[in-house]
């Protein structure tokens, strides 16, 4: 099969599309013929082998990255009963040191119980673009923020609301009944408002600490802040939720031990039920998946470079040309 093959530390420049053996699904796994994949910051971190990239993928050459995908099941491993050949699915490869192959390839193998069926009416590109960002936003707000869908979510601040996680987080926070503030650069504030934020804030102009007090959840999607900086704007039982482990997370967790407020870190998990809910919402038009650029697979390096520039709000996706047979 054809895949984007890099090497740890080689970056995007050190990668190239090459022919490699097609992986076989192991017991409990499905092999998915990829129709679309979406770019995430983790792809760049792993190829550069820095900023925590070493925790997100196994170190070997060729290094095949790519997490989000949508496509159709092409083969099933021993013991798989929940998915069948031909099923249209979406999912993402686990962000883990044990991950060997990625989705920037013609085929990817994953555990069958980590993929969801893709509903009619949701394109492969939008499904792929939703997988990591949507799951992270949902798991952060629900599991760490302790908000509930259809609830009265109080006040939520999403820092980095114009990104892959942030744009979906704004929408889910609204579905959880919250009044939502979202930060971004000035150029992307319209996208943040279009996602449903009640208040868009330019992070270059207004410090998080001066937005207002009394947030129930501060979801630091950009992970540029800390519990220490945000504890003053949290309500008495508020939670600061970050997506990146750091020294300030440890300090924040210690400080929160002496407070009614919480300091949380989320690691996204590929849960079929979450992916199914997200896909259903998107197919029904209740969740907007914003794609800012789409490239054919042959131009995957351009897609990665585009994402690296942070030019637009939304996801960059890569699509395979339709194949017969």
Ligand X SMILES: NC(=O)c1ccc[n+]([C@@H]2O[C@H](COP(=O)([O-])OP(=O)(O)OC[C@H]3O[C@@H](n4cnc5c(N)ncnc54)[C@H](OP(=O)(O)O)[C@@H]3O)[C@@H](O)[C@H]2O)c1
Instruction: List interacting residues with ligand X (CB under 6 A).
Output: 40-42, 95, 132-133, 136, 159-160, 162-166, 183-185, 188, 203, 221-224, 243-244, 266-268, 310
Q: Which is nearer to ligand X, 153 or 160 (CB)?
A: 160
Q: Which is nearer to ligand X, 224 or 305 (CB)?
A: 224
Give me the least distance between CB of 19 and ligand X, in Å please: 29
Q: Which is nearer to ligand X, 152 or 267 (CB)?
A: 267
Residue number of the CB closest to ligand X reads: 163
Q: Which is nearer to ligand X, 88 or 217 (CB)?
A: 217
Are 215 and 178 contacting, i.e. CB atoms less than 8 angstroms apart?
A: no
Which are the contacts of 165, defined by CB distance < 8 A and separation ≥ 6? Answer: 132, 133, 136, 137, 140, 221, 243
Give me the least distance between CB of 164 and ligand X, in Å please: 3
DSSP 96: S
Give me the least distance between CB of 33 and ligand X, in Å please: 25
Give me the least distance between CB of 307 and ligand X, in Å please: 7
Q: Which is nearer to ligand X, 123 or 136 (CB)?
A: 136
Phi-psi region of 223 (alpha: psi -120 to 50; beta: other; left: phi over 0): left
Give me the least distance between CB of 14 and ligand X, in Å please: 20
The two three-digit tokens of residue 302, written as one number = 């351009």
List, as one string, the DSSP characters of 206-234: S-GGGT-S-EEEEEESS--S-HHHHGGGE
Please choose, from the candidates 101, 135, 121, the residue with its C-alpha nearest in 3D space to the C-alpha of residue 29.
Answer: 101
């Amino acid at each position: 099969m054809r895949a984007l093959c890099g090497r740890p530390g080689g970056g995007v420049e050190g990668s190239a599309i090459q022919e490699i053996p097609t992986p076989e699904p192991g017991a409990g796994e499905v092999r998915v013929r990829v129709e679309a994949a979406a770019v995430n910051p983790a792809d760049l971190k792993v190829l550069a082998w820095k900023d925590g990239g070493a925790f997100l993928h196994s170190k070997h050459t060729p290094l095949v990255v790519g997490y989000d995908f949508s496509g159709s099941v092409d083969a099933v491993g021993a013991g798989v009963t929940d998915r069948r050949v031909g099923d249209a699915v979406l999912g993402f490869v686990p962000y883990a040191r044990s991950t060997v192959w990625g989705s920037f390839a013609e085929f990817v193998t994953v555990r069958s119980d980590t993929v969801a069926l893709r509903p009619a009416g949701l394109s492969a590109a939008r499904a792929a673009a939703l997988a990591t960002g949507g799951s992270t936003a949902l798991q952060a707000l629900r599991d760490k923020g302790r908000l509930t869908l259809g609830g009265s979510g109080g006040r939520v601040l999403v820092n980095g609301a114009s990104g892959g996680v942030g744009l979906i987080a704004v929408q889910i926070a609204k579905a959880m009944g919250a009044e939502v503030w979202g930060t971004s650069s000035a150029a992307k504030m319209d996208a943040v408002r279009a996602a449903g934020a009640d208040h868009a804030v330019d992070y270059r102009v207004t410090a998080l600490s001066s937005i207002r007090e009394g947030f129930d959840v501060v979801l630091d999607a950009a992970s540029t802040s800390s519990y220490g900086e945000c504890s003053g704007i949290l309500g008495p039982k508020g939670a600061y939720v970050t997506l990146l482990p750091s020294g300030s997370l440890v300090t924040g967790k210690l400080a929160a031990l002496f407070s009614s407020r919480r300091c949380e870190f989320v690691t996204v998990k590929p849960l079929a039920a979450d992916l199914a809910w997200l896909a259903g919402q998107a197919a029904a038009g209740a969740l907007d998946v914003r794609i800012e650029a789409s490239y054919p697979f042959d131009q995957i390096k351009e897609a990665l470079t585009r994402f690296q520039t942070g030019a637009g709000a939304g996801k960059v996706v890569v699509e395979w040309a339709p194949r017969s047979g």
